[in-house]
């Protein structure tokens, strides 16, 4: 694996996705081109001596820049720094780094469990699976707390149209609308319906979700070797 680099980049776009989540797009300055593997992250310098890590969600084929999504609904060095960014700002990073990724050889069924911004690296995974013309089954279970916390529905719908056998289910754990008719509850419930043979399971997001889903899958006889995960925490 390539050694992480010291990188300088410029903010080119900022999008408000929800009341708590933003997307930030960057263009590389030095070096001017970088390749990354789906699932990797950059560590963003947020103070004189502190870095915070963010998964890359953009298409891995873009060597001129990258995008992240960040949780900003709390107080912390990383969240406050992201909130302070403006288009044209220059940032310092280290990366790309990380070993989270698709595990070769791929099995017939791929299951993805994500909460909140944990869906970020999966978007990059889906681009790779699409380019590789993967013909197996892809199922994503994406959970957020409230309806207003949902994002990337448009991207998921695009994948559903362009990737054979791709499907996704969104779960709202605490709907605010009493007339909400979508899927409710937590994504952990889907561990009961997954295929247990010739399958891989990718988990990303809240550490408690990862622990619970991992335990439930293993109770169904699924080997640890087929469970791949990346836990997201909100550092102060």
Q: Which residues pair with 95 in a beta bridge?
A: 5
> Which 3 state secondary structure label does DSSP give 231?
strand
Mean pLDDT of 120-135: 96
pLDDT of residue 1: 52
List the single range of 1-10, 113-122, 175-184 with lowest mean pLDDT. Answer: 1-10
Same CATH topology for 5-97 and 109-231? no
Task: Choose among 100, 79, 53: nearest CA to 228.
Answer: 100
Question: What pLDDT does 203 receive?
Answer: 97
In this prediction the pTM is: 0.94
Per domain, the residue ranges of the chain are 5-97, 109-231
Q: Is the dihedral of CA 125, 57, 44, 72 positive or negative?
A: negative
pLDDT band, residue 170 (cuts 50/70/90): very high
pLDDT digits (tens, 9 = 90+) for 34-53: 999 999 999 999 999 899 99
pLDDT of residue 89: 98
d(CA 89, CA 155): 27
- Residue 231 has a pLDDT of 73
β pairing state of 51-55 and 109-115: unpaired
**Does CATH number 3.40.50.970 belong to domain 5-97?**
no
Q: How confident is the model at residue 105 (pLDDT cuts 50, 70, 90)?
A: very high
Q: What is the mean pLDDT of residues 62-89?
A: 96
DSSP H or E segment with residue 94: strand 90-97
Domain 109-231 grouped into CATH 3.40.50.80:
yes
User: What is the CB neighbour count within 10 angstroms for residue 71?
Assistant: 19
In this prediction, residues 201-227 reach a mean pLDDT of 95
Q: What's the rounded Cα separation, in Å, for the pair 43 and 100?
A: 15
Averaged over 89-117, what is the pLDDT?
97
Q: Which of 154, 139, 152 lies closest to 107, judged by CA?
A: 139
Share of the chain above pLDDT 90, in %: 92
Strand-pair partners of 97:
41
3-state SS, 113-155, equals: EEEHHHHHHHHHHHHHHHHCCCCCEEEEEEEECCHHHCCCHHH
Question: How does residue 233 score in pLDDT terms, banded at 50, 70 and 90?
Answer: low
Query: SS3 for 49?
Result: coil
The pLDDT-based confidence of 232 (bands split at 50, 70, 90) is low
- pLDDT at residue 209 greater than cutoff 60: yes
């Amino acid at each position: 694996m390539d050694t992480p680099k010291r990188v300088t980049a410029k903010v080119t776009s900022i999008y408000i996705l929800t009341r708590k989540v933003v997307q930030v797009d960057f263009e590389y300055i030095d070096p001017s081109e970088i390749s990354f593997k789906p699932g990797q992250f950059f560590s963003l310098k947020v103070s004189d001596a502190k870095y915070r890590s963010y998964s890359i969600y953009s298409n891995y084929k873009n060597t001129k820049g990258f995008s992240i999504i960040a949780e900003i609904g709390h107080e912390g060095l990383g969240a406050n720094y992201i909130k302070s960014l403006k288009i044209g700002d220059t940032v310092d990073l280290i990366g790309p780094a990380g070993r989270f990724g698709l595990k070769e050889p791929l099995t017939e069924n791929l299951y993805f469990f994500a909460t909140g911004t944990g869906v970020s690296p999966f978007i990059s995974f889906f681009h790779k699976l699409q380019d590789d013309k993967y013909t197996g089954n892809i199922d994503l279970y994406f959970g957020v707390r409230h309806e207003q916390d949902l994002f990337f529905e448009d991207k998921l719908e695009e994948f559903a149209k362009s990737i054979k056998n791709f499907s996704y289910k969104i779960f709202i754990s605490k709907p605010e609308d009493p007339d909400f008719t979508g899927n409710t509850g937590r994504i952990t419930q889907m561990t009961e319906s997954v295929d247990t043979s010739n399958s891989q399971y990718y988990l990303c997001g809240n550490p408690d979700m990862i622990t619970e889903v991992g335990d439930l899958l293993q109770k169904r006889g699924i080997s640890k070797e087929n469970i791949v995960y990346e836990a997201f925490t909100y550092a102060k």
